[in-house]
Every structure is written in structure tokens, then in C-alpha cells.
Chain A
């Protein structure tokens, strides 16, 4: 492989930015062009559903890097530019209307929220993925009287948590009662369900949204629910439509090997990427900030032909109704869940998830330090080859 002189990074979220930073940290001296469809400087998404809504953070506090930092790192930042095509044979990517050559291409285009299927009044339904969405929602909530959140995943629960914190009556419309971080299994989803009820979230299941008006909505069974702000958090899909004719496998995210390579000199990182695990052979997408950072480290090394770095063991975190939840590893398929600190019935614990006596994951509930200590122990044991997570 000829030495890479120029890297084009498409998508200026955490994954794209962290890859660019890691390239420089590894001593890469060629050009780095960071292309982002949004007009803002790269910013941090997790606070969009938390500090921006609840604590009134200004948008500036979400920025991941200012122009000076990008400049000092020698990163050419092209905001407001959308990649629209890729030709791997000639190693060119189309930025807007112009084809640009690359030595290596890193794709970090993230996800777009799923929209509610066409119903009357759909234009009143908000989503939350971008800073502009967040600014608009924060503003709407300042004037809101009642809120409806659609969806049962983690983001829907975070939104309900935020709107209750703001004192707004909130209705959550979900498919079923299994709510919150489903990948953490029923021990956590049952708790999340209880939290919603304890915090007076009006919880409706088994119905869909039929129509939306300015101040009230109608569900599929005819129930009318008053709400002047309606937010849908019903999942998100990979931003790969621009790659439709590239020949890459983009069935559910960009298929990559265990170091993020999708095709020679083309890599994908972050939420848009579907990496194959060298251990299980299964390829899947991860939607978390920490795994995006982990992958960015690995891809920067892969682009430069460096040996595989030591893994950073990405974790997942969320905050629901003031509870800090942290998790690592595989939790959903666990056969047994036991508390190794605190008490599973109390509101502070660290739970260990095991399959056939082997630890596969850990969840911390309001016990961040003990959670970390359990991880440290697990990492030590892991180097001896006894546990995962």
C-alpha cells in the first residue's frame, strides 16, 4: 500500500472528528479534510436530550472543537458540504457537485431519525438528532403546556425524563411496556418502566399515533391526548443513501471488517458503521458515543497501517430521572443477573450479567465508582483470559 497522503473524512460528528484527531496524534502529516453537512462546528450529541433541554446549556457549550483547534490540528473543515457519491475504483468522493480524490476515505455520516409514517398533521411532529432540532425543541418546550413522546427506546425515555424535570405533563406512547435501554435486559427495562410511572409519566401502549393537531393528538383507538409538543424518538437509520451506487454493502449500515475497513482505503466509523466482530463473526451497528470514540482510534491506526491498538472497552451511559446508568459488554442474553455491589432492589447497585458462569456484561446504577472498580477487576481477569466485558 502506498503511503497515504490525504485523508477525507465525511461526517463531522464525534466519530469523524475523533478519527481526524487520532490521525494527528499518531503523527500523520498529510492533509485531512473533514466534511460535514451541517453548518455548525462539530458538536456533542448526548447533551441534546439532557443539559440542552434541562439545564439550559447554550449551544456553544456543546461544541467539540472551535475553529482555532481545528486549525492548529491542520484539519481543513468544510461545513455545510454534503457528500453525494463515491467511486472506489477511481478513489474519488463527490462533495456537492465536485469529485475529489482521496488517499483514504473515512465515512462517519451517522444516522437520521426515523420519521412518523404519513399521518394527518405529521408536520407537527418533532425529532431530535441535530443541534438545530435541539435548539428548536428547547425553545418549544419553554412555551409548552403538555408533551407527547413517541417511542419506547432510550432516547424516548430520556426525553420524558427531561420534560418531567421541566415540570411538563408528559405522555409516552410506546409499543409495549419493555422500555428504555433494551440491550440491558429486563432487569433494567422493568426498572425504567417503574421510573416512568413513579415520575407521573402517562404511559400508553399498544396504540399508534393517528393524527396530530396543534394542541391535541388522536391515537389509533380514538383516544384523544392533549399535547402541544409532540416528539418522535422511534429509531434512526444509517445515512448511506449517497453510497447506493458505490458497491459497498450498506444494507444496515456500512459493513466493515474488525478494523473498520469497508473496501481498500475506505473505512467507516461510528453509528453508521457495522463492524464484524473477529470473535463472533457477527456484524452489527453500535449507537454510542464511547464506541464511536473507540472505533475512531482503531481506524486512525488502520489508515496509517499501524498495529491494532489496545481496545478501550467502550461503555454506554444514560441519565434517567436523575439516575446515572452505565453499562459495558453484553447484557441482553444473560442467564443470570446478580448484584456485586449494592442491592438490585435498591436504587444503587452494580449488576453482573453472566452466561454459563462467564461474565458477559456489567451495569452500574448510581454506583459509578464501584462500576469502574468492577471493570478494572474484569480487565485484569480478562488479560488472564477468564472473563469478557
Chain B
């Protein structure tokens, strides 16, 4: 092996310029791939984190997924019923306390009850439709990040102000209200309620900050005209990624429609899948093309060294050993290229992280999120090395297959 390495080294070190070009090719491929991976995963993770922080991981609604089968259908095979309304008036979740305590016994996380309804904020001539979620501040702390998203006031202040509500910063700005101001809430049933802004929150998701407000459960029930109803359970899990699995289990147990955050955002997440696919393809192509220079070099060397190949074979070196020389050469080029590529990739990532952009999702200007992962370096390097070895394998195989006699006859 040392011998093969020695021969390989004499070949590459005699071609400094070509070798450097090959290394530069590999370095660029690896560097840009790492940069792309860091940018892509960075933005994705950043986005998912916001999503996961802002939304309940699982929402259990007081609805069924589909129309319940009717007794007649169960009895007679020929009977089919249509036009049955799934939900008329929101019936609420039956015995929410016992459902919650049974859920709490096994889910890896916590659950809080809430009352969700829609309403209109009427303030200073502006009428804005919003979603009003009635919560229990003591339990909310365990089930969402709302407490940590408070910019002004605390969750407990809801109970202190008359009909207190917590409003998103963006909405407050739009309405021109401050903490302590009073706004008019108009409910679906025509209920009108003067509420006091008890606090401001900022989730980072524009959609939420502009249209979501919180109140005590009782206030929301009042707006709905259904006292005592709980129509939503919100679950927060220790591992948000398990939401889909847990949601299925919850649904099976309770019979209520349980929506994981992934399901609620399926459209967004599916664009991620498409994006991932595109980016991975581009990265693969980049790594592949970056090994083309190596292919070129090895082709040239094997061509120039035809005679040496014949000599080594005639002396009794095995064909695969001779072939290995050229693979080692491309691996030398690859490894050095990859090392430089790693440095380049890191510098590019660092450079990008200094750039700030406007994020339409949160409506703020933030630095680009870069995800640094050793995995990117390992995978980009590994694939690049494979590409280099492959790029060397084919010309090397062709060159080392030659019959030494043919060359020796030709040369003497």
C-alpha cells in the first residue's frame, strides 16, 4: 500500500497545476454544498421552530372527522344516508376534565383546555375579525409558550382586568391600542363585550400576531353564548416531532378530531419536501460536477502513464493494485480538496450569517439563520470522495486493462 501511495504521490506531485485545479473543483463543490445545506436547513429549522413554538402541537377539536354512521346504516347494508350535517352548533367536548386527566396519564407532554370562537374587534371605527381563544392561565403555562411570548403584562393579568384580553403586538399596533385600553368585542350571536387589553404578546408568526387574541375561558364562553363549554384541548409535547403519532393515538382514544401541527400545516410542509428534493438534487449535481476535473486529471495521467502501467503489470503487480494507484491519486486530490471545501463552506456560512433579510413571515428584519451541522461536512465530504473515487475508477480500469505485451511491443 505504501508503494502504491508512493507511486501515486509521484504522479500527482509532478502535476502541481492540474492537481490544484482538481482540488479547487472539489473544494468549490464541497464548500457550496455545505453553504446550501446550512442555509436551507437553517431557514427550515428556524421556520419550524417558530411554527412549533407558536402553535399547539396537537389540537383536539369537538368535531368528528366524518359524519357519524347512522343507526340505520349499521343495521341494514342497503341503507346509505347523505346530507347529514357533521356539526351543527359546536357541541363542546364532553367531560373535558376526565378526558384531559386520562390524556395526561400517558401523553409525553401536557394538555390545557380552551374555548375557541371567532369575534370582531370594533375599535375606533376599525372592525377586524379575529380568533378568540379562552384559556386557563394556570394551565396554559404548561401547554403553550404564550407566557414566554408576552411583551407586556402577564397571563395572570387576564383575571385582574375586567374581561381582559391579550392581543398580538401587530394587532395592537394596527388598532392603535395599548395595555389598559378598552376595545369592543362583537361575537357571532351579537354579544357585545367591552374588554380591557391586559397584555401584548408576540409569537413571531405574523398570521397569529395579527388575528389571535386570548381571554379567560369564561369570557370566550360568554361571547359564544355557551357557558361551561370547552371546545378545544391543546396539547404540548416534549418532542414536537412525535405529534403526528400521538395525535392518531389521541384521536383513537377520545374519538375527537385531533390535528397535529404537521397536519395543520401540511401545505407548508409539503412545499418543504419539494424544496428539499430540488436542493438535494442540485447539491448532488454540484458534488458530481466538482469531480469532473479529477476525472480529467486521472484520465490524463493514466494516458501518459500507459507505459508505466505496462511495466508494473509485467513485473507482476496485480491489475487491481495498479488500478488502486490512480484511485489513491484522486483520493489525494479529493481529500485535500475536501479539507479546503470545508474551510470554504464554513466561511461562506459565516458570511451569510452576517447578512440580514426581511422575513415576511414575522415581519421583521433578522440575520439569515444558518444551521451548522457536522453532518453537512461529513456527508458533503463523503459524497465528494465517492465521486472522486468513481471519477478515477473508470479511466483507471480502462488503462490498467491493457495487455502489457501490446505496450512493450509498441515501445521497443
Real complex partners, A and B? no
Q: Which residues of A contact B (CB under 8 A)?
A: none
Q: Which residues of B contact A (CB under 8 A)?
A: none
